[in-house]
Protein backbone atom coordinates (compact mmCIF):
# COMPACT_ATOMS: atom_id res chain seq x y z
CA UNK A 1 0.00 0.00 0.00
CA UNK A 2 2.79 2.40 0.83
CA UNK A 3 4.39 1.50 -2.48
CA UNK A 4 1.52 3.12 -4.39
CA UNK A 5 1.89 6.32 -2.34
CA UNK A 6 5.64 6.28 -3.07
CA UNK A 7 5.02 5.83 -6.80
CA UNK A 8 2.56 8.74 -6.83
CA UNK A 9 4.98 10.96 -4.92
CA UNK A 10 7.87 9.98 -7.21
CA UNK A 11 5.77 10.74 -10.28
CA UNK A 12 4.81 14.14 -8.92
CA UNK A 13 8.42 14.85 -8.02
CA UNK A 14 9.43 14.57 -11.65
CA UNK A 15 6.62 16.90 -12.68
CA UNK A 16 7.18 19.51 -9.96
CA UNK A 17 8.76 19.99 -6.58
CA UNK A 18 6.59 18.30 -3.94
CA UNK A 19 6.59 18.24 -0.17
CA UNK A 20 4.96 15.71 2.11
CA UNK A 21 3.48 17.07 5.32
CA UNK A 22 3.76 15.24 8.63
CA UNK A 23 0.88 12.75 8.94
CA UNK A 24 -2.11 13.81 11.02
CA UNK A 25 -3.07 10.98 13.36
CA UNK A 26 -6.31 10.45 15.28
CA UNK A 27 -6.54 8.04 18.19
CA UNK A 28 -9.36 6.12 19.81
CA UNK A 29 -10.23 6.31 23.54
CA UNK A 30 -7.57 3.69 24.31
CA UNK A 31 -4.87 5.74 22.55
CA UNK A 32 -4.61 3.45 19.54
CA UNK A 33 -4.22 5.00 16.09
CA UNK A 34 -7.62 5.13 14.39
CA UNK A 35 -6.67 7.09 11.25
CA UNK A 36 -3.66 8.70 9.67
CA UNK A 37 -3.85 11.36 6.99
CA UNK A 38 -0.87 11.90 4.71
CA UNK A 39 -0.82 15.03 2.54
CA UNK A 40 1.46 15.80 -0.40
CA UNK A 41 1.76 19.39 -1.58
CA UNK A 42 2.80 20.56 -5.03
CA UNK A 43 5.63 23.02 -5.60
CA UNK A 44 3.31 25.95 -4.86
CA UNK A 45 2.23 24.79 -1.40
CA UNK A 46 -1.16 23.54 -2.61
CA UNK A 47 -2.46 20.15 -1.55
CA UNK A 48 -2.07 17.84 -4.56
CA UNK A 49 -2.79 14.44 -2.99
CA UNK A 50 -3.95 12.99 0.29
CA UNK A 51 -4.04 9.44 1.57
CA UNK A 52 -6.24 8.52 4.52
CA UNK A 53 -5.64 5.20 6.27
CA UNK A 54 -8.10 3.76 8.78
CA UNK A 55 -7.02 1.10 11.27
CA UNK A 56 -8.76 -1.53 13.39
CA UNK A 57 -8.07 -1.88 17.13
CA UNK A 58 -5.12 -4.18 16.39
CA UNK A 59 -3.47 -1.48 14.25
CA UNK A 60 -4.16 -3.23 10.95
CA UNK A 61 -5.09 -1.04 7.98
CA UNK A 62 -8.78 -1.46 7.13
CA UNK A 63 -9.07 0.97 4.25
CA UNK A 64 -7.10 3.49 2.23
CA UNK A 65 -8.61 6.54 0.57
CA UNK A 66 -6.49 8.22 -2.09
CA UNK A 67 -7.65 11.73 -3.08
CA UNK A 68 -6.29 14.04 -5.79
CA UNK A 69 -6.96 17.78 -5.88
CA UNK A 70 -6.75 20.35 -8.66
CA UNK A 71 -4.81 23.63 -8.46
CA UNK A 72 -7.87 25.31 -6.89
CA UNK A 73 -8.06 22.75 -4.09
CA UNK A 74 -11.14 20.95 -5.41
CA UNK A 75 -11.35 17.17 -5.21
CA UNK A 76 -11.04 15.74 -8.72
CA UNK A 77 -10.45 12.05 -8.01
CA UNK A 78 -10.99 9.75 -5.02
CA UNK A 79 -10.40 6.00 -4.80
CA UNK A 80 -11.15 3.73 -1.83
CA UNK A 81 -9.19 0.50 -1.38
CA UNK A 82 -9.46 -2.54 0.89
CA UNK A 83 -6.59 -3.68 3.13
CA UNK A 84 -5.58 -6.04 0.30
CA UNK A 85 -5.32 -3.06 -2.09
CA UNK A 86 -8.51 -4.02 -3.95
CA UNK A 87 -10.36 -1.06 -5.45
CA UNK A 88 -13.83 -0.57 -3.92
CA UNK A 89 -14.93 2.80 -5.31
CA UNK A 90 -13.55 5.25 -7.83
CA UNK A 91 -14.98 8.78 -8.05
CA UNK A 92 -14.20 11.63 -10.41
CA UNK A 93 -15.38 15.23 -10.45
CA UNK A 94 -15.19 17.65 -13.37
CA UNK A 95 -15.53 21.41 -13.15
CA UNK A 96 -16.04 24.17 -15.68
CA UNK A 97 -13.65 27.11 -16.02
CA UNK A 98 -15.62 29.01 -13.36
CA UNK A 99 -15.20 26.22 -10.82
CA UNK A 100 -18.76 24.92 -11.05
CA UNK A 101 -19.18 21.16 -10.87
CA UNK A 102 -20.05 19.77 -14.29
CA UNK A 103 -20.22 16.08 -13.43
CA UNK A 104 -19.58 13.47 -10.78
CA UNK A 105 -18.85 9.86 -11.72
CA UNK A 106 -18.96 6.99 -9.24
CA UNK A 107 -17.81 3.48 -10.09
CA UNK A 108 -18.06 0.63 -7.58
CA UNK A 109 -16.13 -2.63 -7.72
CA UNK A 110 -16.46 -6.14 -6.36
CA UNK A 111 -13.70 -8.72 -6.77
CA UNK A 112 -11.88 -6.39 -9.15
CA UNK A 113 -14.84 -5.99 -11.50
CA UNK A 114 -16.87 -2.83 -11.94
CA UNK A 115 -20.37 -3.44 -10.63
CA UNK A 116 -21.92 -0.02 -11.13
CA UNK A 117 -21.28 3.20 -13.04
CA UNK A 118 -23.22 6.31 -12.06
CA UNK A 119 -22.78 9.75 -13.63
CA UNK A 120 -24.56 12.77 -12.15
CA UNK A 121 -24.67 16.26 -13.57
CA UNK A 122 -26.11 19.42 -12.02
CA UNK A 123 -29.71 20.17 -12.88
CA UNK A 124 -30.53 22.95 -15.34
CA UNK A 125 -31.68 25.07 -12.37
CA UNK A 126 -28.34 24.56 -10.61
CA UNK A 127 -26.44 25.50 -13.77
CA UNK A 128 -28.19 28.90 -13.83
CA UNK A 129 -26.92 29.66 -10.33
CA UNK A 130 -23.16 30.39 -10.56
CA UNK A 131 -22.69 29.78 -6.80
CA UNK A 132 -23.13 25.98 -7.23
pTM for this one? 0.76
C-alpha–C-alpha distance, residues 80 and 86, integer Å: 8
The per-residue pLDDT of the chain, averaged, comes to 85
**Are residues 77 and 67 in contact, defined by beta-carbon separation less than 8 angstroms?**
yes
Give per-residue pLDDT as tens, 46-74: 899 999 999 999 999 999 999 999 989 99
Amino acid sequence: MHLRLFIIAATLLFATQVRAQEPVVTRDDAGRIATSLHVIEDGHGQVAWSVLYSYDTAGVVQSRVLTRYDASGRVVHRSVYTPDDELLTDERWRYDRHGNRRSHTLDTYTDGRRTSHIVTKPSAKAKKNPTN
